[in-house]
Structure 1
């Protein structure tokens, strides 16, 4: 039964909605439209007409979530037309106008949403005046259309402002990362440039002293060793905490590396947004390290001409698929895995995930499949 409901949900609504259950919740008001007819009116044709209008409305209602933002306007017009037709059948036809008013917030712009809402209100007033409909129709239609329409549009405007704020915050974070990279680049340039200049001078001096004063030459060589060790320590301090990467950055890095080697590369996120990928950063970073190791293996061993990567949702976790068209890797086919591949297994095992490495025969490539559950 649960599986059937899931299939119906996938058929009725598109994936990736911010509030996936709200379209169903809003349908609790639909009985206000058709139930009174069956209780208070006994005309067969009237009942059939109301049932038909209800079915057409539900078709427009659910299809509304699938169509482009430009086509949504025509679905709203269709619902308003249904309301105009239904007015001759039941006073509760105002329900359809209220639905149309609420759905205005999904239109292309806030300005257009208010214009369409105004058009709905004008339509209610005109048909009430032209056909002298009772207060039971126009009063609920006007009051609730105005209230729900304005509140939903206002909420949409707040959501858009919130998204803009989040985007600006992300942009500020990116700029901060760029500034940090530039700082590290400057520090490394100053450190390495100075250190290598000193090492070059001392190496040259040690070379000239070898035939003249062996003791001083040995002293210079020891100083070169000390300078090298000190430089290594300073480099580690400069880049400390900087090497941790995320999966999107690692994908971009892989693209640049493969491009420099004339290897065709593409990647895609399936049913997954960048925001969702950033929710669980520990898992994200572990997958980035795993991807880096797989890319290294492909470069070293695979002799591939094409590589593809896919990241997708599966159950309550993420799956990383890496496919190349190179030669099968012998260490994958043997009982003993290489050091890097053992490291991948150990990392993923700690996350309660699994690894599948399918090393095919020569020239058929390798498929690596890694699954990790999301912790948040």
Structure 2
């Protein structure tokens, strides 16, 4: 039962079988009635299978049933009415959204061929030009909707790819931080506990022979404990803040693992800025790189720091497709630049080129 699609929206499509069914009893058909009954039964089985059982179907089985479905529609156009080709609306949504076939696939070309054959049958067996005009309009609208659905699927796939890439980058960031924390703790606590162990053992041995020396060793244990506490506090503090140079180094490793070339010149120039300005500049760089990953489809990013008069200038350039709406994607960067009392210049040509200029000294963030 799990493989059956019993969604109410999909099941509602079966109501359209009522129209060819009524045509059998109202004698609004041409050709052999018995043949029409047989075609209707086969069509109903195929149509129901495609709607309810598509999850259990293999690709070639689905295509075979689609062909039978289209042949039934063509026959209904001949035997009942050209409007029977409105059954093709099922494919408008099923091909891109249910069967996940590509545009210009064999399924789509078969869909187009069915439309053409329906027009030919209508032209040969129905004298009213109204039907031809009506079908052309219907088919045009169907293709517009189908193209929209294919575009939607493509965008969803692209967004899914971006989300997966971002998730991978987040994992890399977490792993990198975990490794750094582990190394810091190993270097700090390993030495501390080794020293504490040696001094405490020595104090135990001396307590009965040389009380003053044992006391001195315990004072040493106390001093090492205080130093260890200070070092651990520094490690915790470093988890919260990272200098601009450290952020650039981390980004180089991170983006290399994400197959995105990254080069930064003169990162050390940031050391002349206050910690607060470095933190904001770090956020700007991180946000810019995040935009590149999410929107630019770039393979290379270059950035640099330079000094100009009384300003520090950060330039960031990628080789991607640029941004369609910079006012939206750069909003948070603009807010941080404003906080630094700086300026932001954007060139959206041959990739995105950003120039951020901030005052070197003075102001409330100094």
TM-score by length of 2: 0.50
CA distance in 2 between partners of 1:82 and 1:127 (Å): 13
Q: Of the candidates 64, 71, 87, which is equivalent to residue 61 of structure 2?
A: 71
Shift of 1:186: 0.6
Q: Of the candidates 22, 29, 52, which is equivalent to residue 35 of structure 1?
A: 22
1:186 counterpart = 2:164: no
Which residue does 1:118 correspond to in 2?
112
CA distance in 2 between partners of 1:188 and 1:236 (Å): 12
Task: From the superposition, tell whether residues 146 and 74 of structure 1 become closer, same or farther in structure 2 (CA, over 3 Å).
Answer: farther
Shift of 1:78: 0.8
Which residue does 2:138 correspond to in 1?
144
Q: Of the candidates 28, 40, 56, which is equivalent to residue 54 of structure 1?
A: 40
Q: Of the candidates 52, 77, 82, which is equivalent to residue 87 of structure 1?
A: 77
The Cα offsets for residues 186-227 of structure 1, whole Å up to 9 and x where unpaired, read as 123113312221332354345456535111122223345556
Which residue does 1:217 correspond to in 2?
217
CA distance in 2 between partners of 1:170 and 1:129 (Å): 51
Q: Of the candidates 144, 151, 154, which is equivalent to residue 148 of structure 2?
A: 154
The 8 Å contact of residues 60 and 75 in structure 1, kept in 2 or not, is answered as yes
CA distance in 2 between partners of 1:53 and 1:195 (Å): 81
The 8 Å contact of residues 206 and 220 in structure 1, kept in 2 or not, is answered as no
Structure 1 regions of 5+ residues with no counterpart? 1-9, 241-376
Shift of 1:235: 8.0
The 8 Å contact of residues 31 and 79 in structure 2, kept in 1 or not, is answered as no
1:109 counterpart = 2:70: no
Task: From the superposition, tell whether residues 207 and 100 of structure 1 become closer, same or farther in structure 2 (CA, over 3 Å).
Answer: closer
Shift of 1:23: 1.8
Aligned residues: 226
The 8 Å contact of residues 70 and 114 in structure 2, kept in 1 or not, is answered as yes
CA distance in 2 between partners of 1:157 and 1:54 (Å): 34
Task: From the superposition, tell whether residues 27 and 142 of structure 1 become closer, same or farther in structure 2 (CA, over 3 Å).
Answer: farther
Task: From the superposition, tell whether residues 184 and 153 of structure 1 become closer, same or farther in structure 2 (CA, over 3 Å).
Answer: same
CA distance in 1 between partners of 2:147 and 2:22 (Å): 29
CA distance in 2 between partners of 1:133 and 1:98 (Å): 25
TM-score by length of 1: 0.49
RMSD across aligned positions (CA): 3.8
Structure 2 regions of 5+ residues with no counterpart? 241-366
The Cα offsets for residues 3-42 of structure 1, whole Å up to 9 and x where unpaired, read as xxxxxxx499347xxxx33322333433333324423549
Which residue does 1:366 correspond to in 2?
none
